């Protein structure tokens, strides 16, 4: 027995060690970017154009570009994703079509992000003649983020108790009325969580925008959906790999703005989720 | 009259809902069709065998040599390295979080994993170049730190959240009676873990590993930034390599539209698409098997 005890502490020790190996780098990354990037943050850094071949000045165009991309792609993906989730949770029967849809969602989630880039180039930029533009990039990102929205919304809809629907049906409501008035309002926080999570995801993606929207450097801010744009993740990529002699704080600062935006989105989503869980 | 207006509105809405429902199928089909549309033309210049099995990737020499074997091997090598690191580490961490950790710590650890999954790959690539690569170069006395091994480390890290969260779900889904039964028979918590719970959770854990592999295989930015991008057949983990994904990302910007290079890059995209399709399909089979039991 004593032997087994020892074996147990050894086993748990190994598991703990593995967990520490996972957690330490995460904390190190966040702390490193925070401490090294903090010094670069200023109004000037956030709200002015780059100068001297992007070695000085601010990153405003990259921020504006990313905001554009996030906004347009969510505007496109959120309605489709939510309606798809409503279909799967409230309408679909357990048949071959539903299984195919589920399989397609899993695949959409698993396709390499650079393949999405190729797809966006082929369909939006070339075939539909949108050119290298915000609309091409945003649609590509929107399709890529659909699985996130669909799965979180579906979870939210499924967690609404069955009895709500039954009561609504028994009052003579149609299926859509039931969905609209008895189910959707209760699933709203969950849907919001999904939307915010995908905003974070969209903001951080680089590969899908490489050939569909991203510009190395633009002297002016984009004015419409058919313009090219700079974007934060692509900006970080080029100032890290393509332009020598950029001060390190400038790079860390850009990384901090990007990671800060993504993490704030994630924390917001987590807070909303845990608040609604507590209420139930 | 009022009723029929409502009926019509509902009819339209429900049709829209149905269309959105099948949108995922449409998009997956569109991806495949539009990759094929551009990529199929590679067969005008090379045969399928010499495309997949060719040992040289010289896309801009004339005549261009478009063999993607070095890229496939590069992807496989980096993936294998990452899997060897991430799978054991991820499963162990999942067991710790699901079974051993005190309740308060569980939430904190899970949020750390969530933070990791949220960090954009380009940020990890940036840190890889500025911190990890010089570090590995000095510690391992390599001529360059831009190697397959750096890529594997990076990717292992990126696959961990997938592996941990899905394994953890599988562990939590093991029926409570199994655990109680084992404990009642006098087994220690540890014996229960590795003799009982692990069996119940195995299909889910395998699915987690597969999805982790899928994530690693398709990763682009971080791997492009730290692996050195030498399109030659790799001989060890400590040499620069180039993966399928990095090739597309790095070269598409320069490939002239309509050139054989351009078509070949789309064909590489088809290869990636088919591989990720196969991986996800298998993972899904395991997940469903786990649920049915």
- Rounded to a whole number of angstroms, the distance from the CA of B238 to the nearest CA of chain A is 21
Residues A254, A236: Cα–Cα separation, whole Å: 6
Residues B97, B95: Cα–Cα separation, whole Å: 6
**In this structure, what DSSP letter does residue B132 have?**
I
pLDDT at B66: 85
Q: What is the ipTM of this complex?
A: 0.91
Pairing of the two strands A50-51 and B57-58: unpaired
Closest by Cβ to B249, choosing from A21, A101, A114? A114
Tokens of residue A245, six digits: 């002699």
Return the residue in B31, B108, B214 with the most chain A beta carbons within 10 A, the one to mutate for interface testing: B31
| Average pLDDT rounded to a whole number, residues A260-270 | 90
Largest CA distance in chain B: 83
Residues B223, B240: Cα–Cα separation, whole Å: 11
| Average pLDDT rounded to a whole number, residues B243-266 | 89
pLDDT for residue B293 is more than 70: no
pLDDT at A279: 60
Residues B141, B129: Cα–Cα separation, whole Å: 17
Closest by Cβ to A7, choosing from B190, B221, B276? B190
Residues B218, A120: Cα–Cα separation, whole Å: 17
Residues B71, B54: Cα–Cα separation, whole Å: 10
Residues sharing a CB contact under 8 Å with residue B65, sequence separation 6 or more, in sequence order: B54, B56, B57, B58, B59
* A:B CB pairs within 8 Å: 262
Among the listed ranges A110-114, A128-132, B33-37, B255-259, which one has the minimum average pLDDT value?
B255-259
Q: Which residue of A has its CA nearest to B98?
A: A15
Architecture of the structural domain at B49-292: Orthogonal Bundle (1.10)
- Sketch the domain layout of chain A as residue ranges: 61-279
CA B125 to chain centre: 16
pLDDT at B3: 66
Determine whether domain A61-279 maps to CATH 1.10.3720.10. Answer: yes
Residues A146, A113: Cα–Cα separation, whole Å: 13
pLDDT class of B177 with cuts at 50, 70, 90: confident
- Sketch the domain layout of chain B as residue ranges: 2-39, 49-292
Tokens of residue A185, six digits: 């309002």
Other CB atoms within 10 Å distance of the CB of residue B1: 5
What DSSP line would sit under A69-132, residue for residue? HHHHHHHHHHHHHHHHHHIIIII--SSHHHHHHHHHHHHHHHS-HHHHHHHHIIIIIIIS---S
Q: What is the pLDDT of residues A52-97, one digit of tens each?
A: 777 778 889 999 999 999 999 999 999 999 999 999 999 998 889 9
Residues B280, B271: Cα–Cα separation, whole Å: 14
* Residue for token pair 């702390």: A31
Reduced to 3 states (helix: H, G, I; strand: E, B; else coil), residue B65 is: strand
Average pLDDT, chain B: 88
Q: Which residue of B has its CA nearest to A4?
A: B188
């Amino acid at each position: 027995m004593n032997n087994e005890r020892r074996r147990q502490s050894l086993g748990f020790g190994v598991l703990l060690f593995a967990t520490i190996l996972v957690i330490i780098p995460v904390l190190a990354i966040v702390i490193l970017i925070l401490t090294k990037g903090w010094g670069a943050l200023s109004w000037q850094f956030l709200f002015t154009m780059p100068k001297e071949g992007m070695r000085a000045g601010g990153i405003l165009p990259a921020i504006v570009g990313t905001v554009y991309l996030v906004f347009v792609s969510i505007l496109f993906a959120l309605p489709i994703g939510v309606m798809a989730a409503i279909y799967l949770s409230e309408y679909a029967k357990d048949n071959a079509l539903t299984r195919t849809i589920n399989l397609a969602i899993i695949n959409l989630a698993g396709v390499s992000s650079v393949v999405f880039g190729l797809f966006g180039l082929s369909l939006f930029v070339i075939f539909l003649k949108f050119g290298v533009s915000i609309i091409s990039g945003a649609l590509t990102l929107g399709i890529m983020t659909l699985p996130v929205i669909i799965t979180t919304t579906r979870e939210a809809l499924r967690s609404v108790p069955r009895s709500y629907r039954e009561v609504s049906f028994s009052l003579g409501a149609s299926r859509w009325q039931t969905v609209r008035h008895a189910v959707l309002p209760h699933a709203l926080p969950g849907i919001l969580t999904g939307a915010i999570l995908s905003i974070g995801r969209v903001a951080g993606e680089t590969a899908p925008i490489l050939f569909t929207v991203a510009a190395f450097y633009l002297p002016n801010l984009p004015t419409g959906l058919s313009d090219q744009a700079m974007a934060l993740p692509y900006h970080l990529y080029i100032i890290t790999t393509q332009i020598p002699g950029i001060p390190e704080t400038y790079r860390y600062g850009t990384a901090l703005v990007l990671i800060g935006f993504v993490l704030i989105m994630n924390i917001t989503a987590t807070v909303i989720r845990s608040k609604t869980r507590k209420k139930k | 009259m009022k009723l029929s207006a409502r009926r019509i509105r509902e009819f339209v809405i429900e049709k829209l809902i149905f269309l959105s429902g099948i949108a995922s199928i449409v998009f997956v089909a569109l991806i495949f069709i539009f990759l094929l549309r551009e990529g199929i033309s590679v067969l005008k210049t090379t045969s399928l065998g010499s495309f997949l099995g060719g040992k040289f990737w010289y896309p801009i020499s004339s005549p261009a040599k478009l063999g993607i074997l070095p890229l496939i091997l590069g992807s496989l090598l980096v993936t294998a390295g990452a899997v060897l690191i991430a799978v054991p580490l991820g499963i162990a961490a999942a067991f710790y979080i699901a079974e051993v950790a005190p309740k308060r710590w569980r939430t904190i650890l899970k949020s750390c994993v969530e933070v990791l999954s949220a960090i954009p790959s380009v940020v990890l690539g940036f840190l890889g170049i500025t911190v990890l690569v010089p570090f590995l170069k000095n510690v391992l006395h390599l001529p360059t730190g831009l190697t397959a091994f750096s890529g594997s480390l990076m990717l292992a890290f990126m696959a961990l959240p997938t592996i941990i969260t899905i394994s953890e779900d599988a562990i939590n889904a093991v029926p409570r009676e199994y655990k109680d039964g084992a404990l009642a028979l006098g087994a220690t918590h540890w014996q229960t873990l590795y003799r009982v719970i692990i069996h119940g959770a195995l299909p889910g854990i395998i699915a987690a590993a597969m999805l982790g592999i899928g994530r690693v295989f398709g990763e682009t930015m971080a791997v492009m930034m730290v692996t050195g991008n030498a399109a030659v057949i790799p001989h060890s983990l400590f040499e620069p390599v180039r993966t399928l994904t990095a090739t597309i990302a790095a070269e598409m910007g320069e490939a002239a539209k309509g050139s054989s290079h351009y078509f070949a890059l789309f064909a590489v995209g088809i290869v990636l698409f088919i591989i990720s399709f196969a991986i996800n399909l298998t993972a899904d089979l395991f997940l469903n098997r786990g649920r049915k039991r």
